[in-house]
Structure 1
């Protein structure tokens, strides 16, 4: 059948490949870790094999899908353009550098930010075999974008990435300073973003700051509610943290968070309409009495 499309889900080379009809309906998926093709519509079986053939390797099993989990059902019902999982680290910065009109100095700063986000993003993505799931560039109305949302056995972490620029970085309760640059409100911002994410996901989200390539990092002793991450110990620290979420919880939260519609503000309630009175009743303006004209 012509018109089938193969769409990736998750990090390139690691997530599933979904086969969709032109209208976006999924008819099959290829699980690269299990090396299995699950076919939802058997009449598309040959067409599915043909369109997936360039991606297959080794001995591949094919058959009906296993009993879907709630996360699978949510993914199948999600429009492809609402899926945040394929976002690359620094996705918005890449677009800004490619199409923006910023000056030379601003573009240099953007490249530093992009390099830091890519480095941390690659480190978080490498945790996937250990049961972690990561989203990048998550839109959060009213706050901008979360650089990385990391979900795994140790919990959920809302991560803001800061380039250290090989200078001394100091993290205080409200501000973060790198070298002699103007202080940045990153600690205050990440607290607000994590609180908003907690409300959206109905699960505790820990704020985290990832400082990349600082020559020295100092943190005020009063900063206890923010997780401070610094390569190369950032991901080993997460792996060593106590377990807070079971694998099904991780997958369910990831399925919820990857849907861009999850992060949209709730729609305002429709305006209330006045209740009609009994037949013959006329609404009176202020100051009018029955029987007086």
Structure 2
């Protein structure tokens, strides 16, 4: 078979090179990180390897695609409208600002844009954990108009993360109150715990609450906190060192359940 084309693509944060025939159908794909060429037809082995020749970066294993797991089958059956995986950090705020950008003559920045920047910064840091076997969902919708800013699932367990814009401000945490600069204290830790409790109910697994402060000035915590972790975005890489709670198959199964919008309809 001649005329094979190689088309690069990204899937779940990993590069794949798809080999397509003249009719546009995939006949193989190459996972560069795993060093494996997955063939859909053994008859095309030599043609596929010749097409991929300029892209191969070392020894490769050649064989049929792996048998899909239960989590992968669930994902394949998920309707695109119910799939939360494509959500961007701050997805709900992006939609709200697109629908109602607010007056153009504002003297002060729309607070929604400050919150959006915080969620995007936190989301980018959390997405960076994927190489360590972690999965992150952003802007998970809950009944009543609430949402979980970020849901993180990985070897160290499950975490419901609330991002808080705190640029250069002093943060005082006195459970359950959080004081941001000179503003009035707010019971934010109560909300963070409630989000985690709702996620635990939906996923039938323990979800731990996290308050993630984005670019804070000075952080003061007056006493040990019950259950809640208070972190900054620079602390996020430490998540990659947590482990011993979930196996990779468990991570994928919980991620498949969490990305389904219908999972969150009754919490």
Fold match (TM-score > 0.5): yes
Assess, with a 3 A threshold, how the Cα gap between structure 1 residues 242 and 77 changes in structure 2: closer, same or farther: closer
How far has the Cα of 1:224 moved from its partner?
A: 2.6
Which position in structure 1 is the counterpart of 2:79?
A: 79
After the TM superposition, which of the residue ranges 63-72 and 73-82 deviates more from structure 2?
Answer: 63-72
Q: How does 1:111-260 map to 2 (within 5 A)?
A: 111-142=113-144, 144-236=146-238, 238-260=239-261
How far has the Cα of 1:30 moved from its partner?
A: 7.8
Which position in structure 1 is the counterpart of 2:55?
A: 58
Measured in 2, the distance between the counterparts of 1:206 and 1:226 equals 7
Measured in 2, the distance between the counterparts of 1:10 and 1:106 equals 38
Which position in structure 2 is the counterpart of 1:271?
A: none
Which position in structure 1 is the counterpart of 2:97?
A: 97
How far has the Cα of 1:105 moved from its partner?
A: 6.3
Assess, with a 3 A threshold, how the Cα gap between structure 1 residues 99 and 16 changes in structure 2: closer, same or farther: farther
Q: Is the 8 A contact 1:8 1:86 kept in 2?
A: no
Measured in 2, the distance between the counterparts of 1:79 and 1:121 equals 24
Measured in 2, the distance between the counterparts of 1:84 and 1:33 equals 26
Given the two structures, how large is their TM-score scaled by the length of structure 1? 0.70
How far has the Cα of 1:197 moved from its partner?
A: 0.5
How far has the Cα of 1:123 moved from its partner?
A: 0.9
In structure 2, stretches of 5+ residues that fail to align are 1-8, 19-26
After the TM superposition, which of the residue ranges 144-153 and 105-114 deviates more from structure 2?
Answer: 105-114
Larger Rg: 1
How far has the Cα of 1:210 moved from its partner?
A: 0.1
Task: Determine helix, strand or coil for the equivalent of 1:142.
Answer: helix
Assess, with a 3 A threshold, how the Cα gap between structure 1 residues 89 and 181 changes in structure 2: closer, same or farther: same
- Report the RMSD for the aligned CA atoms in angstroms: 3.4
Q: How many residues align?
A: 241
Task: Determine helix, strand or coil for the equivalent of 2:172.
Answer: strand
Given the two structures, how large is their TM-score scaled by the length of structure 2? 0.77
Q: How does 1:42-57 map to 2 (within 5 A)?
A: none
Report which of the two has the higher share of strand.
Answer: 2
Bigger RCO of structures 1 and 2 (CA < 8 A, at least 6 apart)? 2
In structure 1, stretches of 5+ residues that fail to align are 1-6, 19-26, 267-293
Measured in 2, the distance between the counterparts of 1:242 and 1:258 equals 22
How far has the Cα of 1:106 moved from its partner?
A: 7.2
Measured in 2, the distance between the counterparts of 1:29 and 1:80 equals 23
After the TM superposition, which of the residue ranges 78-87 and 159-168 deviates more from structure 2?
Answer: 78-87
Measured in 1, the distance between the counterparts of 2:84 and 2:30 equals 19
Measured in 2, the distance between the counterparts of 1:17 and 1:145 equals 36
Assess, with a 3 A threshold, how the Cα gap between structure 1 residues 220 and 32 changes in structure 2: closer, same or farther: farther
After superposition, give the CA deviation of every residue in 1:75-116 in whole Å (9 maximum; x if it has no partner). Answer: 111111211111111112222223314343675312211111
